[in-house]
Amino acid sequence: EACEDGEPSNETESREDESEPGESGEPEDGETEPEPSETKTDGEREEEEAAKFWEDKEDKEMDSQDPDAPLPGEEEVEPEPEDTSLDRPLASTEEDEMDEDLARDINNAVENEVEDVTEEVKEAFDGTIGFNVRAVLRSREGKTPKMKPNMLLRKRLERIMSIKKRLQARTMHGEQYGRIDKRHLHRVATDERIFSLKYKFPDGFPTTKILLDLSGSMSGHQADEVLEAAGALQTLVDAEVWCYNSKGSQCNLVRMDEGKLVHKYQPGGNTPSGLALVGVSLGMKKGGLIIHLTDGGHNTGESPWRAYWILEARGIEVVNVIWGGDSRGNRHYVG
């Protein structure tokens, strides 16, 4: 039924409520209608293109310019000259001239590697090295001729070394202690040597230095023989070879450079054997070995037997090989 007094029906109101918000044609809250785009004239477009062209051109010019170049309106400053004197620290000048004697001493020290071991040797001998010796010097020369070992002696030494190698481990029978040897039990009533003992020789060779007496008494064929023997031994054993003598108040110890003879080193002078033994032992560890080849003619500085006891206390063994010549000098090696 239609409503009285002209009032709208409920059905009409419900239809209006169910209508969607966008259907009424009115914009929602927060939404704005797009403004119509403005149309640019031809003159405005030309002005924009011209402005863009000149802007790009200025950017290219700025990129091509030197960053260190002065800006417009600034004065150009000349760079200071670079100081190259520090790049040539060894450049010869009048102030750099060195005394000839000093230059010669420095050159000799560099080539020969001179080492003063006087204080170390003096300390070993309780503050004395003998009244007629003032310095003990060790040196090594690099420019040296080759040493020629005696090949026959070398073969003999090779044979000795091969026998030693075979005996590295060996069982010794008939000993007085050890393990009971069943093969000798029948001797128990009459002989106590019924034990066997396995003995092992030390493997390898100890750190060795060969010390050669090249004093005046070792001149001539004796010096040649000693050098040949040292060369033969050095080819089999990794050892340093040193030679020594004494001239004036100075004991000289010179190392042969890896199988070579010392440069211009000739036998001569006195025989400071005791000082040489202690001097060459400096730097050696316990268990080392020094093989000393000499004619026994010690005649200056501390005696060899004192050096022997000093080295024994340090655990260094000394083997003296007396080589012909002055047999009276052998008394210096008897403690």
Tens digit of pLDDT for each residue in 116-158?
899 999 999 888 877 778 889 888 765 555 566 667 777 777 7
Residue with tokens 């090989």: 321
Q: Which has the higher per-residue pLDDT, 165 or 253?
A: 253
pLDDT for 274 beyond 60: yes
Going from the N-terminus, what domains does the chain have, and what CATH number goes with each? 112-151+203-333 (3.40.50.410), 169-202 (no CATH)
pLDDT of the residue at 317: 92
Of 85-94, 107-116, 170-179, 214-223, minimum mean pLDDT range: 85-94
Q: What's the mean pLDDT when you consider all of the chain?
A: 71
Of 48, 83, 95, 130, the C-alpha closest to 300 is 130
- The sheet with strand 115-116 has its strands ordered as 115-116, 135-140, 250-255, 239-247, 208-213, 289-294, 317-322
Q: How far apart are CA 164 and CA 156, in angstroms?
A: 13
Question: pLDDT-derived band of residue 335, with 50, 70 and 90 as boundaries?
Answer: very low
Q: Which has the higher per-residue pLDDT, 58 or 311?
A: 311
Tens digit of pLDDT for each residue in 247-268?
888 898 988 765 555 544 566 7
Taking the complete model, does pTM exceed 0.75, yes or no?
no
Number of other CB atoms surrounding residue 61 within 10 Å: 9
Q: How far apart are CA 25 and CA 126, in angstroms?
A: 123
Question: pLDDT-derived band of residue 334, with 50, 70 and 90 as boundaries?
Answer: very low
Find the helix or strand (DSSP H, E) in which 294 lies. Answer: strand 289-294
Number of other CB atoms surrounding residue 286 within 10 Å: 9
Q: Are 213 and 271 in contact (CB under 8 A)?
A: yes
Q: Which has the higher per-residue pLDDT, 192 or 280?
A: 280
